Structure 1
Amino acid sequence: MKKDIQIPQVKDVHVAVVQEEHIEYKTKDWNAYIVNNTDKDLETVLIVSQGYTDTKMTPPMRHTISKLPARSYAKIEYLQEQVLELNNTFKVTFFEGNQMFDKSYLFRKNTINTKALQTIPLMQLKGVLVK
């Protein structure tokens, strides 16, 4: 029975954490985004995020995006500075047509920082990307 279940590999869907300037508060905030760098729309995108270490754990945050068009991105959540000191996971489940996809993205503790910034596909912003 288990051998009959096919789990397709997720390609060109990423989670990125980008440092952006908050105009109103004049601060630099870290925001998590989901990036759909495919030619197909993603439907019913479910995201569960959580930060953790051996001794600490944040409550899980749940997010839903009804449709994420091809070659686009959407904001998931704001990340407080204290959360960057934890391992941060983003479990992403979505449908592409009638096929369900699932992948976990992990940002290890302290890897989200200004030294790790790179250009994020589609966004033309600097951030930290997990593929």
Structure 2
Amino acid sequence: MKKDIKIPDVKDVHVAVVQEQHPEYKTQDWNAYIINNSDKDLETVLIVSQGYSEKKMTPPMRHTLAKLPARSYAKIEYLQEKVLELNNEFKITFFEGNQMYDKSYLFRKNTINLKALQTVPLMQLKGVLVK
């Protein structure tokens, strides 16, 4: 039965971690975003994120978006500084039409930092991007 399930490769959907100023507290916060850089809407987007290392593990965080329109992005979650010292994985499952897609995005420990910033598509902000 498993061999009959076909899950195609994910293209043009990314996860980025961007450093932004918090409007109320005026702090520089790291926030994770999902980016839909395709021409099609994503439906029923399920995201499970977790930080881990050999000795530590955060509890899994679950997020749902009913729809992520084409050429748009949405905030997933705030990342505390301590979590950046861990591997941070985002497992994303979504539907495009009637087809299910699934992909894991991994930010290795300590790779989310100011030296790794690059321009993030659609957002016109600097961040760390995993394709």
Q: Shared topology, TM-score over 0.5? A: yes
- Which residue of the partner structure matches residue 108 of structure 2? 108
Structure 1 residue identity aligned to 2:98: N
Stretches of structure 2 lacking an aligned partner (at least 5 in a row): none
- Which residue of the partner structure matches residue 38 of structure 1? 38
How big is the shift at 1:23?
A: 2.1
- Matches of 1:42 and 1:4 in 2, distance apart? 23
- Matches of 2:74 and 2:23 in 1, distance apart? 19
Stretches of structure 1 lacking an aligned partner (at least 5 in a row): none
- Which residue of the partner structure matches residue 76 of structure 1? 76
- Which residue of the partner structure matches residue 9 of structure 2? 9
2:31 is the counterpart of 1:27 = no
Query: Deviation per CA, 1:15-37, whole angstroms, max 9, x where unpaired?
Result: 00000011211110000000000
How big is the shift at 1:45?
A: 0.2
Which region of structure 1 is more displaced relative to structure 2, 83-92 or 3-12? Answer: 3-12
- Which residue of the partner structure matches residue 93 of structure 1? 93
Query: Deviation per CA, 1:21-60, whole angstroms, max 9, x where unpaired?
Result: 1121111000000000000000000000000000000000
Query: What RMSD, in angstroms, separates the aligned Cα atoms of the two structures?
Result: 0.8
Helix, strand or coil at the partner of 2:110: coil
- Matches of 2:100 and 2:2 in 1, distance apart? 16
How many positions carry a matched residue from both structures? 131
Between the two proteins, what is the percent identity of the paired residues? 86
